[in-house]
């Protein structure tokens, strides 16, 4: 039986902590994140350049490490949605969802009948190549698949309450940079325009008992957002964690190892 741990995580408001992968889809990455204590991973196709061959491999890495994977696909096209599910994505994230109609299209594309209209492929990656009856397969896949609906436009904020009301929408995920651009305040996350929008999304999720997620660059911001109601806290990404840790170490090494002026090495 294929587990649906991510769906279970989305069913509670307890904080969940994860990491964003945009560069290092290496065989050991799942075990590294598991050892670090991650509850989930967000694996990006929108900006990373990863293709579905990479996704298929990465899903195996994270399954082996027992880390639930959310795959963010690059568009709302059916072939992107259905292929990610066929590759074994437990969670699916879609960028710039602005309307109820778009959310319904996504759900139809990712769910099997009777909940959706996804094309049938059984005993492949998503069900771990196991045999079984068609009815049981459909039921298991629909129960397992978890929809993270990305709110990152002014339109999405306006329709957040109606989107959150849809059965099958498990989490509203704020895309803060694109949202700030859409609202006309690029990068100004302290502006009233932006904070009012966040308040509206938080209220929509709370009203309908849905999870809330966001990428955070610092521990302090993650803690503050959790106090506001965010429960999926995705801490930074592989590129930035490596860069910042390495830059800090190199700078301290350079400062500590550079000889004083006029000094000579023996």
Residue 232: closest CA among 32, 4, 20, 2: 20
Residue 68: closest CA among 170, 217, 167: 170
- DSSP 3-state of 17: strand
DSSP state letters, 148-197? EEEE-SHHHHHTHHHHHTSTTEEEEEE-HHHHHHHTT-TT-TTSHHHHHH
Q: Is 176 a catalytic residue?
A: no
CB proximity list for 31: less than 8 A, separation 6 or greater: 61, 64, 65
Q: How would you classify the pairing of strands 40-44 and 211-216? A: unpaired
Write down the catalytic residue from 4, 19, 47, 126: 47
How far apart are alpha carbons 127 and 216 in whole angstroms? 32
How far apart are alpha carbons 114 and 178 in whole angstroms? 34
How far apart are alpha carbons 50 and 74 in whole angstroms? 10
CB proximity list for 250: less than 8 A, separation 6 or greater: none
Residue 21 pairs with which residues in a beta bridge?
43
As a whole number of Å, the CA-based R_g of the chain is 20
Q: List residues with catalytic annotation.
A: 47
């Amino acid at each position: 039986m294929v587990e649906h741990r991510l769906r279970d995580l989305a069913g509670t408001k307890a904080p969940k902590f994860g990491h964003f992968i945009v560069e290092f889809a290496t065989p050991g990455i799942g075990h590294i994140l598991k050892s670090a204590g991650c509850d989930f991973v967000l694996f990006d196709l929108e900006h990373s350049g990863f293709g579905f061959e990479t996704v298929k491999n990465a899903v195996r890495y994270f399954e082996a490490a027992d880390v639930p994977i959310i795959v963010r696909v690059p568009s709302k096209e059916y072939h992107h949605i259905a292929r990610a599910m066929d590759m074994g994505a437990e969670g699916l994230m879609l960028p710039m969802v602005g309307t109820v109609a778009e959310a319904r299209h996504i759900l139809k594309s990712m769910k099997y009948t009777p909940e959706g209209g996804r094309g049938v492929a059984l005993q492949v990656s998503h069900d771990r190549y196991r045999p079984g009856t068609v009815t049981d397969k459909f039921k298991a896949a629909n129960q397992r698949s978890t929809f993270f609906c990305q709110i990152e436009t002014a339109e999405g904020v306006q329709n957040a309450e109606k989107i959150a009301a849809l059965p099958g929408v498990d989490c509203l995920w704020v895309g803060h940079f694109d949202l700030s651009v859409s609202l006309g305040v690029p990068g100004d996350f302290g502006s009233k325009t932006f904070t009012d929008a966040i308040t509206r999304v938080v209220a929509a999720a709370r009203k309908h008992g849905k999870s809330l997620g966001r990428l955070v660059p610092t521990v302090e911001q993650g803690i503050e957002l959790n106090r506001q109601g965010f429960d999926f806290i995705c801490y930074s990404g592989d590129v930035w964690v490596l860069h910042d840790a390495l830059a800090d170490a190199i700078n301290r090494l350079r400062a500590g190892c550079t000889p004083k002026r006029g000094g000579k090495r023996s």
